[in-house]
Each structure stands twice: as C-alpha cells, then as structure tokens.
Amino acid sequence: MSDQQKGSDSQADSPCVVFLGNDLMFQSRIGSVVRSSGFRFLAIRDVSKFPEGLGNETQVKWVLVDLGMAGLKLPELPGLVRTSAPGARLLGYGAHVQKDVLDVAVESGFDLVLTRGQFDRDMAEILSGSTN
C-alpha cells in the first residue's frame, strides 16, 4: 500500500487535509471524516517523508499529527509545517496519559492539541470550522 492516499477526483479543487501518522485503523476513520467534510485527504505515514510527501499540494487546510508517531521532532514541526504549507492549521493529538507530549506540542506552537478521544469525538466539527 502506498504511503499516500489522495481524495477522489470529484474533490480535486477542494482544500486538502494532511494526516501525519501511521495508525492505519485511525487513518481510515480520519480519512472518512475528512472526505465527508468535503476535503481531499493525504496520508503521510513516515515522518521522514514530510514535507516532501506533500508533493505540489498548495491547498493544505489542516495538518493532523499523531503525537505518538516515532521520529517526530515536535519543537521543529510547527516551523516546518508553516514553511511547507502556509496557512494550514496544525493539530496534534495523543494519548491522555502522555501529558508531557501534549504539553510539548502546545509549547512548540501547535494551533490545537487534543487527546485522541477528544479529537475522535470532535473531528468533524473541528474540520468544518465550528470548533476552535
């Protein structure tokens, strides 16, 4: 299976939501919500392939990051996202028991940091813009 999955051609002009994580089950759930919210979906499952994995993508609305992903350099990621996907919002989610990781993401400049449960519950509202 490819490291990247894009949305359907019917959404070709829609903004894109990028998922940076390697949990295939949760990726499927996120992709489904993203597409039903009217966005294209791009999954990058290997942190070393970001930002190159964006290719020529210029309409990134959100970058969703699994904070438990191996190899993440949290302090550097917000700057990298802002440079490679200007205007994109950066959301990180992680296990509620890893408060230290969630705190580092907040301190590093993520726009929104949630527990996985909060993100799973509120994902559609967040993507639609009705929750900040």
**DSSP-based three-state secondary structure for 18:** strand
State the pLDDT at residue 128. 86
State the pLDDT confidence band at 60, using cuts at 50, 70 and 90: very high
- Paired with 64 in beta bridges are 19, 91
State the pLDDT confidence band at 7, using cuts at 50, 70 and 90: very low
The DSSP secondary-structure symbol of 95 reads -
Please say whether the beta carbons of 10 and 57 come within 8 A: no
Quick one: CA dihedral 118, 123, 124, 130, positive or negative? positive
Calculate mean pLDDT across residues 119-130. Answer: 90
Nearest Cα neighbor of 54 from 107, 128, 115, 3 is: 3
pTM: predicted TM-score of the whole model, two decimal places: 0.89
Hunting for tokens 């392939």 — which residue is that?
A: 49
State the pLDDT confidence band at 62, using cuts at 50, 70 and 90: very high
Residue 72 has pLDDT above 50, yes or no: yes
Delimit the domains of the chain by residue range: 9-128
Q: Which residues contact 29 (CB under 8 A, 6 or more apart)?
A: 120
State the pLDDT at residue 3. 46
State the pLDDT confidence band at 12, using cuts at 50, 70 and 90: confident
Across 20-38, b (16+ Cβ under 10 Å) vs e yields: bbbeeebbeebbebbbebe
Calculate mean pLDDT across residues 15-29. Answer: 95
State the pLDDT at residue 10. 53
In CATH, the number for domain 9-128 is 3.40.50.2300
